[in-house]
Amino acid sequence: MAVRYDPSQFPPFAVTVDLVVLTIRDETPDELSVLLVDRGSAPHKGRPALPGGFTHVDEDIEAAAYRELEEEAGLQRREVHLEQLRTYGAPRRDPRMRVVSVAWLALGASLPEPTAGSDAAGARWVPLSQALESRLAFDHATILADGVERARAKLEYTGLATAFVGRTFTVADLRRVYETVWGTTLDPGNFHRKVTGVPGFLQATDQQTAGTRGRPAVLYRRVRTTSLNPPVMRPGS
Amino acid sequence: MAVRYDPSQFPPFAVTVDLVVLTIRDETPDELSVLLVDRGSAPHKGRPALPGGFTHVDEDIEAAAYRELEEEAGLQRREVHLEQLRTYGAPRRDPRMRVVSVAWLALGASLPEPTAGSDAAGARWVPLSQALESRLAFDHATILADGVERARAKLEYTGLATAFVGRTFTVADLRRVYETVWGTTLDPGNFHRKVTGVPGFLQATDQQTAGTRGRPAVLYRRVRTTSLNPPVMRPGS
DNA sequence: AGAATAGTGTCTTTCAGACATTATGTT
DNA sequence: AACATAATGTCTGAAAGACACTATTCT
């Protein structure tokens, strides 16, 4: 009953992963930053691009995303939140051959400049507004825009914002994430009541900030949470 | 400056599309139905599976999804709402070779039984509960579950529900979509006020139902709408 | 007339948003 | 003491949910 299959009868594709890596950097805390590389070879040589690369033939596509994150950005698996974004497969998006790209969204707390040592010498953080203006290679402008939109949308109804802060954080830290990602300002008091009032959203530690100006703030820990109901409302929407 | 690329140096993948096609059938109006085919050959010969097939080498992956929809289900592009779901690319999900599958979610109003004539003789509508119990081929059980979850979630904050009704419909028709997809009941009065109160969500026609029991209902037309704010609330969530 | 369904009105509760007030630290 | 920030309180308006009530058709 076993039938022999000849793989060559099926159209050959290359499968790549492309990464939209977003963080909020201490240097530019009012804006998202995205990790870009410069293409070292044709096509689009010299143009900025999203980090990424070819999936190996025996490698899970999610594993390929983590591997590229490590190779091109020096980021460990545990430092980032990674989720699949969308797959881009227009026939001529890469002029060399037929390439289908599975794009991923990676989020992390103020991530380090990747240039120090490692393979990731070509990668750098670019403020989002600047990245959107630059002429990215391939269809990477579309992928980047889709990734940012996904992040913005998911802040509303999930705990995704905690991916942008460290292991422990204050309510104000979390509020600044929302403000940065959405480009808005939020009322500190109302935000505090909202996020501390949703059961299971945040877990208070017994620690507080010290050495800062003003009243010390309680430190909270991330909680694995899927949905946030009712959502945090995005102003003017 | 032009460099020659040898495609054979990149790992060869096959790229398929798999379709989660959902509808609400008049025969089983209390439950979603999903389109399944029976596999005619190994692997998983005889097992039920999601419709789908190989992407052609010069074909956009979205075009491949529409083509399979036509070939395997006899459904025209204009009859369905189609959106990309997720890509599944575990190395051994298909034992024959390395296959990356781009899954799509297709929704339509009470779609016809596809067996009548055409290529789509193998396809049939299966009540969702029954499909979830059957041992689907490959990782299609996961894909189906993800597709259903996507549909359920998007009803809340988008106008996606109108994809399940015809060109014109009553508020009660739309309410039954929500009730069927969510498996709940909704208060008719509150639902009516809600959906007619959101500006731009529905467009009233000058026509009404006739020949039905009870007071005639105004017929509405679908409106291209992206977001629905505030959302329709899903009970108990 | 009675049943059935469409659509509106009313009341209560919840919660977002504006903004004042209290709490607790640093300079 | 002055200032800064955290956290809570108060008020208002909007909207959801429960449910009563009116409207309009068919049998």
Q: Give yes or no for residue A113 having a pLDDT over 80.
A: no
**Which pLDDT does position A224 carry in this prediction?**
74
- Give B150-166 pLDDT, tens digit per residue: 999 999 999 999 999 99
Which bases along strand D come within 7 Å of a protein CB atom? Answer: 3-9, 15-21, 23-27
Quickly give A204 CA vs C23 C1' distance in Å.
Answer: 19
Through-space separation of residue B200 CA and nucleotide D9 C1' in angstroms = 38
pLDDT of residue A186: 97
Is residue B42 scored above 50 in pLDDT? yes
A62 CB neighbours in chain B (<8 A) are 89
Residue B41's pLDDT band (boundaries 50, 70, 90)? confident
- The yes-or-no verdict on residue B121 having pLDDT over 80 is no
Residue window 65-94, chain A: list those with CB within 8 Å of chain B: 84, 86-87, 89-91
| Cis peptide bond upstream of A43, omega within 30 | yes
- Average pLDDT value for chain B: 91
- Judged against a pLDDT cut of 50, whether residue B2 lies above it is answered with no
Lowest model confidence (mean pLDDT) among A174-183, A224-233, B39-48, B91-100: A224-233
- What does the pLDDT look like over B19-36, one tens digit per residue? 999 999 999 999 999 999
Q: What is the mean pLDDT of chain A?
A: 91
How much is the average pLDDT of A53-76? 95
- Cβ A57–B13 below 8 Å, yes or no? yes
Residue A153: what residue type? Answer: A
Confidence of residue A225 (pLDDT cuts 50, 70, 90): low
Kindly state the average pLDDT of the residues A57-75: 95
Tens digits of residue pLDDT in A32-58? 999 999 998 889 999 999 999 999 999
